Amino acid sequence: MPSIQPPIAKKQPHLHKNHGINRVDNYHWMRDDKREAPEVLAHLTAENDYHQAKFAPFKSLQTSLFEELVGRLDKDESSAPYYWHNHWYMSRYQQGGEYPIISRKPQLADEEQILLDVNLRAMGHEFFGLGGFSVSPDESLLAFSEDTLSRRIYTIEIKDLNTGQMLADKLEGTDGSLVWASDNLHLFYIAKDPQTLLGYQVFRHQLGQPQSQDVLVYEEQDDSFYLSLSKTLDETLILLHHDSTETTAVSLLDSHQPLGQFMPLLEREQGHEYSIAKRGEQLYILTNWEAVNFRLMTVSRSQAHDKESWQEVIGAKSGRRIEDVLLLSDYLVVQSRQSGLSQIEVRPFNGEAHYQLAFDDPAYVVGFDVNPSQHSRQLRIFYSSPTTPESIYQYDLSQPSTKVLLKQENVLGDFNRDNYRSERLFINARDGQAVPVTLVYRIDRFKKDGTNPLYQYGYGAYGYTIDADFDSAVISLLDRGFVYAIAHVRGGEMLGRPWYDDGRLLNKQNSFNDFIDVTHALVNQGYADQHKVVAAGGSAGGLLMGGVINQNANSYFAVAAHVPFVDIVTTMLDESLPLTTNEYDEWGNPNEAEAFNYMLSYSPYDQVKAQDYPHILVTTGLHDSQVQYFEPAKWVAKLRELKTDRNLLLFQTDMDAGHGGKSGRYRHYQDTAQEYAFFIGLLEQS
Distances (CA, A) of 415 to 262, 445, 500: 51, 15, 36
> Which residue in 3, 131, 209, 139 sits closest to 663, CA to CA?
131
Q: Which residue of the set 87, 186, 242, 659 is catalytic?
A: 659
> Which residue in 270, 279, 218, 275 sits closest to 247, CA to CA?
270
- Do the beta carbons of residue 346 and residue 357 sit within 8 Å? yes
- Do the beta carbons of residue 568 and residue 543 sit within 8 Å? yes
DSSP 553: G
User: Is residue 467 annotated as part of the catalytic site, yes or no?
Assistant: no
Q: Find how far residue 333's CA is from the centre of its chain.
A: 24
Provide the greatest CA pair distance for the chain. 76
User: Is residue 25 annotated as part of the catalytic site, yes or no?
Assistant: no
Q: Which residue of the set 624, 654, 663, 671 is catalytic?
A: 624
Other CB atoms closer than 10 Å to residue 415's CB: what's the count? 15
User: Is residue 87 annotated as part of the catalytic site, yes or no?
Assistant: no
**Where is 499: in which H helix or E strand?**
helix 497-501
- Do the beta carbons of residue 372 and residue 82 sit within 8 Å? yes
Other CB atoms closer than 10 Å to residue 531's CB: what's the count? 11
- Do the beta carbons of residue 296 and residue 314 sit within 8 Å? yes
Q: Find how far residue 20's CA is from the centre of its chain.
A: 37
Strands 533-538 vs 558-562: parallel, antiparallel or unpaired = parallel
φ, ψ of residue 348 in degrees (nearest 5): -65, 140
- Can you list the positions of beta strands (E) in 148-220? 154-160, 166-180, 186-192, 199-206, 215-219
Q: Which amino acid is at 686?
A: S
**Where is 683: in which H helix or E strand?**
helix 668-685
Helix (H, G, I), strand (E, B) or coil at 600: helix
- Do the beta carbons of residue 334 and residue 314 sit within 8 Å? yes
- Do the beta carbons of residue 134 and residue 180 sit within 8 Å? yes
Region of residue 43 (left: phi > 0; alpha: psi -120 to 50; beta: else): alpha
> Which residue in 301, 339, 334, 349 sits closest to 318, CA to CA?
339
> Which residue in 279, 286, 217 sits closest to 253, CA to CA?
217
Q: Which residue of the set 103, 244, 251, 539 is catalytic?
A: 539
Helix (H, G, I), strand (E, B) or coil at 596: helix
Q: Find how far residue 574's CA is from the centre of its chain.
A: 24
Label residue 216 exposed, middle or buried (CB < 10 Å: 0-12, 13-18, 19+): exposed
SS3 for 96-138 is CCCCCEEEEECCCCCCCEEEEEHHHHHCCCCCCEEEEEEECCC
How many angstroms separate the CA atoms of 508 and 501, rounded? 9
DSSP 506: G
> Which residue in 392, 395, 414, 421 sits closest to 405, CA to CA?
392
| Residues annotated as part of the active site | 539, 624, 659
